[in-house]
Structure 1
Amino acid sequence: MSDAPENHPAPVKTPEAHPLDALTGGAFSAATSGERAARVREWLTTQPSPEQLQEVFKELSGRDKGAAKAVRERIDELRRAKNQEAIAAEWADKASALLAAAKLNIADALAWQRDAAKAGAPLSREPLSLLKVQLAERIKVIEDLQHRVQVQREAAVLLAQRIEVLSTKSWRDAQAALEVLRTDVQHWQDQAQALTGDTSWVSVEARFPTLLDASRSQLLVVWEAFQPAVAQAVAAAEDAAAPLPPVPVWADELRVARGLPSEAAAAAAAAAERPARVAKAKVAPEVLTKAVQTVRDALAKLEQETAEGHGKASVGAAAALRAVLKDHGKHIDAALEQQVHTALVAAGELEGWQRWSADQVREELVAKAEALLNRPEGQALGGRKIQETLRQLREQWKQTDQGGAPNHALWKKFDEACNAAHKVVEAWLEKIRAEAAEHKAQRLALVEELKAWAASASASGDWKAINRGLYQFSDRWRASGHVGEKLFAELQPLWKQAIAAAAAPLEAAQKASILRRQAMIEEATVLGAAPALRIDAIRALQQRWQAEAQGVPLDRKQEQKLWDTFRKPIDEAFQRKTAEREKHSTELSARDRAVVDAAKALEAANASGDAQQIRQAMTALEAALRGQAQARADADAAAQATGGESPAAPAAEAASAEAASEAAADETVPQDTDAAATAPEAAPAAPKAVNRPVVAVRGDDRPGMKKDTPAAPMGRNGKPGERRDARPSRDAGRDGARPEARGGRFADRDRAPAYEDRGPRLGDAAFRAQREAMEHAQQALKKLAAQAHGEALTQLLTAWEQRDPALLPSAQELGGRVAPAVRTAWTQALSKGAAGDAAQSLLRLEMAAEVPTPAEQLSARRMLQLQLLTRRNDPAPAETWGRDVAAVLTSASDATSARRLQNVLKALLRKA
């Protein structure tokens, strides 16, 4: 163990309690978020005030948003409840106003419930639920009153029919039923009085009181005529001198009781005594047919108007039917006459209903007219809106008058409201007139300004400035304010005349510019059609076009059209030239074809997934890139012609061997030795210098500080190994100077060639093909190397788990980092039985690979690092990782150790 002093931990400070801990039950001092949320929910059950909720949420939202969510939901819930309370109070006031009103409109009461539900009012809570029930009961009472009125009307009709039936029977029957009828009539009147005395009677629709009054009047008329007739009949029966009752049936009965003939017998006797009358002349059948047809036509017209609800038209049709009856009523039968009377009665009822409905519409129009001026301050209407509304209201009033009888009282009220609202319209119209006069003066001044500007600008010759000025004047004319249609029709010709006069010089210059541009288009056509493309002439022509375009502006579309026409022949000429160039470039040379073929062979090798084939194909492609394949073919052809050996063959073979050696040196994962033996023999190449990583050395490792390393002499500039009297700049340029004196690091240039012979330049297609093939080959090799590395690790872990040395990967599969001696040690470790503890070896491996250690082993790793610092002569973990792996393989295998060993070897076996 190290002699490091013991560390005495400082006393832990107790955190101060939060001021809101006492309020929330310790939510702020809770150790975990779950405990904090639980305490907050428990605190919310105590129903804290909104101020406390806001304060806690403000402090807690910055610490724990999850725990503060419950507080925020409670705040939102209280806010919603407060909003609903406000809405409920508003609609409760409206319902109370409806209930407190003396007259309740059923439509308003039903609309209250509908509108309250749309506004989101809580109708199921108090007080709205109670108010809803009260309104429903009030509506039910009103509807019940209206139904009872209809029942009373039918009862009055039945009572009148009973009285009329008794007038056709004996007067004694009428006398017997008199008391019962008196009781029924009095009961009917009591019920009618109870209806009119009800508190909700004022809320009944206007047609029901009228119906009840009409029924009362009709019943009373019949009843008041029936009682005296019965009394007179009784008196006539007791006294023969008393007058007979006005009822014909009763009068005949009393006359017979007195021994006098009946009225019918007397009439027959009188008729017999009178001389026979001359018989009426028979009416012609065609006259009867015409009369019936005329009456039926008038009747059909009246029935149609009545069915469609046209009150005013039905009145006219009824008058026309009555006029027809005066002329032809004596020629129709009883059935047709009955239909006529029924239609006339229906038309009369419709006229009364139309009058009532028209009054309802008129009252609504009056309310709308009065509301135009009684709106809230923020919702006041403008003059134009009021004018349009007044026009619509008056039009609706005219349509109402056309459908029913006029109501002069309501018209007077409506007209007064409309006149009061029209004062706002008059003020608005006055303001519009003043603005129109101001805008007219501005437009006239703008016309005069345009004329003055045109006189001064025409002589400048700056057509772009003139064009810009004309656009600016047009914008100012459009932004000069609104004027009426009539006034605009007067000012527009003046403006057009002035703008045309100002634009005349520019239009003349534009016409001349168009002619010049068309001439340049013809020149471009001639240049484009020429067999030889003259670049200087085309450039000069384009410069002339640009100067013309900058001097005289045209309309954007016209200028673009002329420019497209101008550039079309030139673009076509350049396209022909480009096509010819591409045609020449697509014709591959013999060397390009060789490169393309080699690239295709490399792509095929990439698809096969065989690393050996990929490397051989890469070697062939590199040889083709250097032009050796073509040189060899030329040399072979020359040798065959002369009968000798090709001199290029040895060079090509040497180049191929060099490429193969370079490819072998770049290998990441070694291949099978048998496959490598089949490759062509390569000339021995000089081994490349390997850049070894710098290893940290304990102590002072500067030159001269170690006893076994002599200090290098310091140079002139303080650099080690440089002579103080060395003059590189002077000695480097002398002939015969030593390489060390000619620039130091540039000494190898005397032995190196001036440049590398890379062969002729490749075509575009061949260059792209070889570049893509090489990139794909490198990616495939990397992928294969990664797969081989992963498979080797899997086999190693499997061998450890099963303790089978036969499953251990070969040295070639493990890579260059694993020496044969290290693999032998691993084999021996697997051959032994599982024994020992590999904890420290795993920690050393993780330190060597610089990979993280599991959290539960961090303390052990720190302790091991402290121990290693005290062992100055012991090798570092990076130097002994092979032995550490053997120690791990000696121990028993488990999932955690296997995962840690896999992470370590994954990093160590990949390091260069």
Structure 2
Amino acid sequence: MFPFSKNNPAEPTTDAAAAPAKTQEAHPLDKMTHGAFSAQTSGERMACIRDWLASGPTPEQLQQVFKELSGKDKGAAKLLREKLDEIKRSKTQATIALEWADKAQALLAASKLNLADALAWQRDAAKAGAPLSKEPLAGLKAQLVERVRAIEDLQHRVQVQREAAVLVAQRIEVLSTKPWQDAQAAQAGLSVDVSNWQAEATALANDANWPSVDAKFVPQLQASQAQLGLVWEAFQAALSATVLAAEDASAPLPNVPVWADELRVLRGIPLEPVVKAPKAPVDPEIKAKATSAVADALTKLEQEVAEGHGKASAGAANALRNALKEFGRLIDDKLENQARSALAAAGELEGWQRWRADQLREELVSKAEGLLKRPEGQAIGGRKMQESLRSLREQWKLTDQGGVPNHGLWKRFDDACNEAHKVVEVWLEKLKAETAEHRAQRLALIAEVKAWAEANRTALDDDWKGFNRVLHQFGDRWRESGHVGEKMYAELNTLWKAAIDEAAAPLEALQKVSLAARHAMIDEAKQLGAQEVLRIDAVKALQQRWQAEAHRVPMDRRHEQKLWDAFRKPIDEAFNRKTAEREKAQNALSERDRIVLDASKALQAANASGDAQAIKTAMAALDAALRGQAQAQAAVAAAAQTSDEKSAQAQTQQGQDAPDTAADAAAPNDDAPTEPSAEAAPEVAKPVVRKPVVAMRGDDRPGMKKEAPALPTRGGKFGDRKDSGRPGGRDGGRDARPGARGDDRGGFRDARSERAPVGDRFDAPRLGDAAFRAQRDAFEQAQQALRKLAAQAHGEALTNLLTAWEKRDAELVPSVQELGSRVAPAVRAAWSKAVTQAPAGDASTALLRLEMAAEVPTPAEHISDRRMLQLQLLTKRNDPAPVQTWGQDAAVVLGGGFDAAAARRLQNVLKVLLKP
């Protein structure tokens, strides 16, 4: 808020102070600005200023209001300043546009346009900040571009005409090496081509843009025109003389050697052998150099002709001709003849190239005309149409570079492209409208962000997460505001960054404070982690402080994760150090751990063998090792062995100390008299140890010793405490007995310990981590292996049963043990009897009852029968349910005929009913 009065609106004011406020005069500009000066809050004032700006005030009014508001409300003044800057930029751009428009008009008015100046105009105007997208610069720019394109096209046509003149001259030269009748037949076509070439050259010279063509192209066209004229005139004169000499034997022979020889033969004059004047001796080094130059040019021409490159072959042919002109007198006849043959082949290829170029042009014309002849659902969009037209025009230029141009096809092609370009123009107009809409949308979003930033200098109710969420929502809306051009986006993005930075300034300031606090907590965590004794309470308190700070101040996720990793690292290292010390102390396995590990390994080996009996035996051994029975038995055996050794040692010592007479009296002696000796020692009677009689009730539960007292039960008379007689009550806690539930590594839990005999219990110490994990994994894998073996046995039993049904062989029916505990011997006997009997009866009802008992789905074709059977069973209340008679129903099915579909249904049912 930016109140104009010095008094706080929240504080109560006296009547004396309030009275002048009511009679205060309104500001002179308040009415003009729609109440901006009388508004109470900054948001209302900015809304009034926006409404006033929409009415289109003059620059003088804007300056006056800005001067009044600049010292009172910076937010509202900022809107005015932006408007004034926009007006200033518009005036500046108008001046620049006028200046560059004069330069463009001067360029267009000149009779000779310099391409460099025309191309530099657009570049320099853009650098100067001229609005090239607005009129009149947009139209002038289009005119310059069109003028430059016409001049470049004219220069290109000059080059094409030059190449065409060379090709026509080569065709005439090739005809001079063929019979004169062929030359006479080709004269009409050549005459048309020469006339067309002359007309095209005259049109080029008469073009309005001809003065603007580069100076090098004018003499090239004139030289080509003069050369072609001379060649054509010489050809016509030689052909006319040849025709006259063929009709009149007295007429002189033409100057063309081939035609003159033909006429000599026709007249019966023998041909004189051509005697070439002997060549003057040439320096071998110079001759080798000349031969090498001609051979290189000949090789290049032959390569281009073999690959079919028309334009490249023309250049290679010219190079070979120049080489022959320079070194023809220095090379031998064989190389010269090869060069002449290669030039003739190149001339034929150039003629073929022109035919092929016309074919390619016709294809391009068909493609251009087909752009608008597509079906309704396959019309091409604006962007794709633009790309297609650009591609077609590029292909046309490439085709023109390889042969003589065809103006008729070019006219058709250009008209088709111009017609198709109307679609591009419509698309461009639509794109322009969308761009303007997206620009307005982005500007509105920027204004909304500025207004929100002005009204939210701090988070509401200290909810900085909500503050950050709103900023992210603004960012999402900016990204979804539609496409604009790169230049426009760069301009708008600058405004957007300024607005969003201003809106995020309070949060960024708070984040800096929070960052300092978190770095302090990281240092504190390092100090706690470096202490020898880790204080858990201090660590928990520090973590709670960190979590509170993280919940209060949001930060970038990646930065926050890095800070959290740095905070957690010293504490984790301290805990890891403590764990390592503990594990180091536990690395030395106790005797019990070693026995448990050995038993676990044995159980793992049994699991791998796949033998159920071996697995159960190994499980029992591991169970005994966990309860400590193995250690107890080993201790008892060791104690008994020690006791026997001590007793034997005592008896030996006593025998050594006794008198010899007693030993002699005790031992038999044949030489002694038959009557007893008076000195014989009397026999010592063994003392009888009487055990105290303890009254107890024998425990007659299965697996318990009857002489052991029964464990306390939950019984008792009414009113007794339920927890007085059970472990874990008030009389004794859960930890008062070995193997309690809280001891997670002392072996089996309560139920497993109570199932064992009382005399077999052993107060075992806590297992080490390795032994505990080993026995746990071994038991889990053993149980999984047993389940897998049981499932396999179950499947084999079902397969054997169905095979016995199919083959009617009772010997194949599995035994009771194989079928499982759910099948009684009587049921198995009934199944065997049913299999041996001849098929009889309908088993469809029995199958339905079996599927109802097993609760498995019935095939679609039998669903109605199953529903009918269910309705019938509802009326028979006293009859046994299908669950009770499934054994008899299975016997009925087995007594019927074997059917593959019924076998599958029976198998699905028995999978459930025989499952152990």
Task: Bin the TM-score by the shorter chain.
Answer: 0.3 to 0.5
Structure with the greater alpha carbon radius of gyration: 1
The TM-score normalised by the length of structure 1 is 0.39
The TM-score normalised by the length of structure 2 is 0.39
